[in-house]
Amino acid sequence: MNIHEVYKELSSVIPEEQLLKDEPMKNHTSFRIGGPADLMVLPSEIEHIRHTLKVCQKWNVPFMVMGNGSNLLVRDKGIRGVVIKIANTFNSVWVEGCFIRAQSGALLSVLSKKALETELKGLEFASGIPGTLGGAIVMNAGAYGGEMKDVVDWVKVMDHQGNEFCLSNAELEFGYRTSLVQKKGLIVLEAGLVLSPGNFEEIRAVMADLTRKRQEKQPLSLPSAGSVFKRPPGYFAGKLIEDAGLKGFRIGDAQVSEKHAGFIVNLGNATAKDVLALIELIQQRVMEKYGVELKPEIKVVGEG
């Protein structure tokens, strides 16, 4: 695998300060865990993304796309190949009437604040979700009764051949923590969100209430990747884990949060190996005790 040649070709189109060699992934995930990526690309234009795909395919180098890294566990030896991080270098936002159009690297927190400023309601649920618009669409992120499928009108995507096309809400096949984008491995470039007129104070009050609930229930002071497991039908993962006696249980510096058992937190120097061992133990214990299979919601990538 010739990363040197890939770097050389990429740098003919992409500024060198947007190409990071041997980049520690712990600096790019909310878990603060992960070994180095051979090469990270920080695109600021659609053409940067297309060029990266073309070069990776030419040299047969693997690539992966990420957003803000809020739902990601990178293994300890890192990632071979190229990581395309679509985040704060690709995050423009436009508001037109009740319509917000944004590039996929825009943070949900920024979008919900923009909606508040322009007195548009419907995005309050997303104000505390730490990810990007693109990442949220991929997994149909949601909280407190709202989901991305409720506000997305259309999404512009790119396939691995560099073709761009738009998908409507119906075509996106949104489901619980899934979408057509996820199933097909498409890359989100931009999206249009449809909101409705609201009152500034009322919207702000809803957002403040959701923030208070998050602060009360979630371990926001420690690095984590949010909810570790999908909600099993008829149950709550956090309650099952707590009832299995695992609240506060730790392996190395990876701990089942003492505040909310649905979260695993990094107490300081947790490794991916610690987290994965803890996930496996939780799954075994809950299966033994309740016969319920817990499926991870976080995405695990890289080499052990």
* Among 89, 83, 86, residue whose Cα is nearest residue 23: 83
Q: Catalytic: 285?
A: no
Q: Residue 60: is it exposed, middle or buried by C-beta count within 10 angstroms (0-12/13-18/19+)?
A: exposed
Catalytic-role residue among 119, 164, 258, 297: 297
Q: Catalytic: 30?
A: no
Contact between 83 and 37 under an 8 Å Cβ cutoff? The reply is: yes
Angle at CA of residue 108, ends 87 and 274, nearest 5°: 70
Catalytic-role residue among 177, 179, 224, 257: 177
Who's near 46: CB < 8 A, 6+ residues apart?
158, 164, 189
Residue length, the chain? 304
Catalytic-role residue among 112, 179, 224, 227: 227
Contact between 26 and 76 under an 8 Å Cβ cutoff? The reply is: no
Q: Catalytic: 177?
A: yes
- Two structure tokens written together for 265: 């937190």
3-state secondary structure 95-133: EECCEEEEECCCEHHHHHHHHHHCCEECCHHHCCCCCEH
- Active-site residues, by number, are 177, 227, 297
